[in-house]
């Protein structure tokens, strides 16, 4: 299994967020890092996304050693190239198609594509990908992964969208076949307090690993 996929599986959650401010973005990553998080998705959802991400990657080796920082909400090849050029550790998309998959394989960068249907998952499976994002997860329900899993041996699933940052909810997804859950606004709200975020995330990680 790919090293990044294994780290996602070990971590059980993948926090994802975007903020227009570089300083706020840096502080959120610091709060998550101090809680024990080592895999984070920064989302490509605003005008400052590429600039902020570039700066975050530049400082991550010294300020956040061991952190895997990937980019999410990438929808086309140009965006893929932009973030591959600034050394994104992985790329997450809300959609999947053959062109996106083949392009990341050529770039030798891990793609975690967003899939909704078995046909979507099959594109990933046929191209040798080992992890897909089930999105939007809340529209499909917690039995979906268990239903499609037998058809795609070796495939790993990370539901994202509408998942609550609560141990019980995440455990239900894990018990239903997921290796991890993507957590956005339920973990990182708009009026975020960094100390509270560290406490909440650390507590969540401890409970999930009991």
Please report the pLDDT score of residue 191 as a whole number: 85
pLDDT at 1: 53
pLDDT band at residue 138 under the 50/70/90 scheme: very high
The CA-atom distances, in angstroms, between 90 and each of 15, 65, 71, 104, 210 are 14, 17, 6, 10, 28
Q: In the predicted model, is pLDDT for residue 176 greater than 70?
A: yes
**Could you tell me the maximum CA-CA distance found in the chain, to the nearest angstrom?**
44
Instruction: Give the C-alpha separation, 49 to 8, whole Å.
Output: 23
> What was the pLDDT predicted at 190?
85
pTM of the entire structure? 0.96
Mean pLDDT of 99-112: 94
Phi, psi of 72 (to 5 degrees): -120, 175
- Reported as a pLDDT band with limits 50, 70 and 90, residue 210 is confident
* Mean pLDDT along residues 158-162: 97
Decide if 139 contacts 114 (C-beta within 8 A): no
* Tokens linked to 100: 């996106």
Per cent of the chain over pLDDT 90 is: 96
**Total Cβ atoms within 10 A of residue 126:** 11
Chain segment 67-76, per-residue pLDDT in tens? 999 999 999 9
Using DSSP's 3-state secondary structure scheme, residue 78 falls into: helix
Sequence-ordered alpha helix ranges (H) in the chain: 3-11, 22-35, 49-63, 77-85, 98-107, 118-126, 137-140, 144-148, 167-175, 194-208
pLDDT exceeds 90 at position 36: yes
Distances (CA, A) of 201 to 64, 89, 192: 17, 22, 12
If you average pLDDT over residues 181-203, what whole number do you get? 95
Select from 112, 44, 48, 54 the least CA-distant residue to 78.
Answer: 44
d(CA 86, CA 188): 25
Q: Is 181 helix (H, G, I), strand (E, B) or coil?
A: strand
**Mean pLDDT within 120-127:** 98
- Cβ–Cβ < 8 Å for 77, 100: yes
- Would you tell me how many other CB atoms lie within 10 Å of the CB of residue 196? 11
Average pLDDT, the chain: 97
Residues 33/64, Cβ–Cβ less than 8 Å: yes
The pLDDT of residue 192 is: 83
In the chain, % of residues over pLDDT 70: 100
């Amino acid at each position: 299994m790919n090293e990044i996929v294994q780290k996602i599986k070990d971590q059980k959650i993948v926090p994802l967020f975007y903020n227009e401010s570089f300083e706020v973005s840096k502080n959120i990553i610091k709060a998550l890092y101090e809680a024990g998080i080592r895999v984070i998705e920064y989302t490509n959802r605003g005008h400052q996304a590429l600039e902020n991400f570039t700066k975050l990657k530049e400082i991550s080796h010294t300020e956040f050693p061991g952190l895997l920082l990937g980019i999410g909400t990438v929808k086309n090849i140009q965006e893929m190239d932009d973030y591959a050029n600034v050394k994104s550790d992985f790329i997450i998309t809300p959609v999947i198609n053959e062109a996106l998959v083949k392009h990341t394989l050529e770039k030798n960068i891990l793609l975690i594509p967003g899939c909704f249907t078995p046909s979507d998952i099959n594109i990933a499976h046929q191209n040798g990908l080992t992890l897909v994002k089930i999105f939007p997860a809340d529209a499909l329900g917690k039995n979906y992964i268990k239903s499609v899993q037998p058809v795609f041996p070796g495939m790993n699933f990370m539901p994202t969208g509408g998942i609550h940052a609560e141990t019980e909810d995440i455990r239900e997804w894990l018990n239903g076949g997921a290796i991890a859950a993507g957590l956005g606004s339920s973990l990182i709200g708009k009026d975020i307090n960094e100390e509270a975020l560290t406490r909440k995330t650390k507590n969540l990680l401890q409970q999930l690993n009991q």
